[in-house]
A = this chain, B = another copy of it.
Amino acid sequence: MNRLSATGSDAEIWCHTHSGTAYDFEEYLDIVREFHGHAAPGLLIGGKMVDVALSRISREILFDVICETDSCLPDAVQLLTLCTIGNGWLKVVPLQRFAITFYDKYEGEGARVYLDPLRLDAWPEIKNWFFQLIPKADQDSDRLKEQIRAAGDGILEHHRVRVDPEYLGRKKSGRKTTCPVCGEAYPVAQGKICRACDGGSPYIGTTDKKDKNME
């Protein structure tokens, strides 16, 4: 891993990408803001979690990632690795535990990193935020950011896990056909009409596209 950051800063390195590019805390803040819109605390800690996970797996394997929450943390993975929602190498399993697992995509052996609540007593601002002990408006975001930076990997734990084979590989949606109702393509396995036309549409009102192209 590099000693100097991507821009040559000699500030302490906060995290690395899968390919070894290093970011100090402020540089990482910048890429977080650019991708995620704001410097969410969970995503700052997430950068360090990715860094720990990367350091605990062999560089010889092809890895996939499980993220156990859909809040913030998936974006740390997407920013620092090639594992994304769209390529399926990142899977979100919405247990709402603050944890990520980097694992051998064929064998399932991996390293799981999580935030250890027992370690938060030393970091009251992180604890306030993590357990939502005080309203967001009353939290001190600068102090929170400083505690996250100072705590580093000291609030994290890691252990080895084996991913259930049912999570290995990617589910293919299979052969597609055209839905007789909406006229769009959908997987044949869904049935005679597509799941959206079968009551699963996230839209209300007209679905017959009568108003197509109208402004």
Contacts and interface: CB of A to CB of B under 8 A. Distances in A.
A50 B200 CA distance: 23
How many copies of this chain? Answer: 2
Residues of A in contact with B, size category? 35 or more
A86 B114 contact: no
A1 interface: no
Contacts of A207: 161
A163 B203 contact: yes
Contacts of A163: 202-204
A182 to B, nearest CB: 8
Contacts of A164: 201-204
Interface of A: 35-38, 40, 43, 66, 68, 70-76, 78, 82, 84-89, 92-93, 95-99, 101, 112, 114-118, 130-132, 157-165, 167, 173, 175-178, 182-187, 190, 194-196, 200-205, 207, 209, 211-214
